[in-house]
């Protein structure tokens, strides 16, 4: 999960997908 999240953030440096991926990470953590 950590690697996937980091990769997704780096890949989507536009900023739009960033918030989307960040929210997903929180869900998994929960």
Strands (E), the chain: none
Q: Tell me what the mean pLDDT of segment 4-19 comes to.
A: 55
Find out whether 25 and 5 touch, Cβ atoms under 8 Å. Answer: yes
Please list, in sequence order, all residues whose beta carbon lies within 8 angstroms of the beta carbon of residue 5, skipping any fewer than 6 positions away: 21, 25
Please list, in sequence order, all residues whose beta carbon lies within 8 angstroms of the beta carbon of residue 14, skipping any fewer than 6 positions away: none
pLDDT of residue 9: 52
Q: How far apart are CA 3 and CA 10, in angstroms?
A: 11
**pLDDT band at residue 16, thresholds of 50, 70 and 90?**
low
30 pLDDT more than 50: no
**pLDDT band at residue 25, thresholds of 50, 70 and 90?**
low
Can you give the pTM of this predicted structure?
0.14
Report the mean per-residue pLDDT for the chain: 55
């Amino acid at each position: 999960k950590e690697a996937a999240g980091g990769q997704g953030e780096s890949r989507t440096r536009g900023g739009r997908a960033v918030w989307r991926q960040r929210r997903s990470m929180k869900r998994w953590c929960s």
